[in-house]
Structure 1
């Protein structure tokens, strides 16, 4: 895949060279606590194992590194079952998650026949729920999911974005 360029970011496939920065970013507790499948503490070995398992990106199924030119890896955005993303803490509150997710959704809807995308977030993850709302996702329910970091079930708000809402409300 050719990297996807946005106004400020580059979305590209992960490589093993990303492991140290990936581990540092996702391994910070304030990031990991909102990522249900991510254990804490998160190690370099875990990052290497995870990166080795990533598959080539397609519009249907993607895991992409979010790179800020001049700074390097600042997060990850994926559409594997549902839309997910994380941004390293030093880069919070700058709109990078929204920008990256928007670009991935554009690629997804342009390259597939999918009629909807789901996402979710911990019920108290106001930042992720705000990103989803900005993108046009609407809540469809809640469900408990086991958090590896917190070692307990956490209520998740499940959201959905339809193709019609995406193309009709083009942002």
Structure 2
């Protein structure tokens, strides 16, 4: 992982994580206007119009600059093609944050989510000195949990029937990791 503070980018072997731009809004709207993504996310609206993408993107740079949240586009390192998004909140008082991500369905199964998640964890542990990161997923979306496991996160518990979505209750599964650099 290579972090460039001036550009607010994180690079991996295949990816560049960068701030979203207004010009990404159309691609974000297209990828997120997908029932398969909507059904496995907590707060994503459906349908997902371009105005939702624009309002979501509007505060990313300020959030980053103020160390409130790091919301980055997951893109191809060479072509710049958008694959999805990854974010980690900053709960400064507790030196931890929650990680969340989505990858466009046409890019599933290629390891982009795992590669982006590992890079974000390294970023917040090395650069932002977080003590801990946690993440959660709907039990009905085990692929998200596999990303967490591949990043070294461990199972912390399940909240039974915690969310009511699409006329049914969903279990929420929590994973977490303590900064390995602080042990």
Q: TM-score range by the shorter chain?
A: 0.7 to 0.9
Asked if the contact 2:25/2:54 (under 8 Å) is kept, the reply is: yes
Q: Please point out which of 8, 13, 16 is paired with 1:10.
A: 16
CA–CA distance in structure 1, aligned partners of residues 123 and 170 of structure 2:
31
Asked if the contact 2:131/2:182 (under 8 Å) is kept, the reply is: no
CA–CA distance in structure 1, aligned partners of residues 13 and 53 of structure 2:
28
Q: Please point out which of 59, 64, 78 is paired with 1:57.
A: 64
State the TM-score, normalizing by the size of structure 1.
Answer: 0.87
Aligned ranges 1:114-129 → 2 under 5 Å: 114-129=130-145
SS at match of 2:58: helix
Shift of 1:155: 1.2
CA–CA distance in structure 2, aligned partners of residues 90 and 156 of structure 1:
25
Label 1:72 to 1:116 Cα distance change in 2 as closer, same or farther (>3 A).
same
> What is the number of equivalent residue pairs in this alignment?
165
CA–CA distance in structure 1, aligned partners of residues 37 and 80 of structure 2:
19
CA–CA distance in structure 1, aligned partners of residues 126 and 80 of structure 2:
29
Corresponding residue of 1:77: 86
Gaps of 5+ in 1: none
Shift of 1:141: 1.3
Corresponding residue of 1:48: 54
Label 1:75 to 1:167 Cα distance change in 2 as closer, same or farther (>3 A).
farther
What is the RMSD computed on CA atoms of the aligned residues? 2.0
Shift of 1:53: 2.7
CA–CA distance in structure 2, aligned partners of residues 167 and 99 of structure 1:
22
More contact order relative to length (CA 8 Å, sep ≥ 6): 1
Label 1:71 to 1:53 Cα distance change in 2 as closer, same or farther (>3 A).
closer
Gaps of 5+ in 2: 90-96
CA–CA distance in structure 1, aligned partners of residues 23 and 168 of structure 2:
32
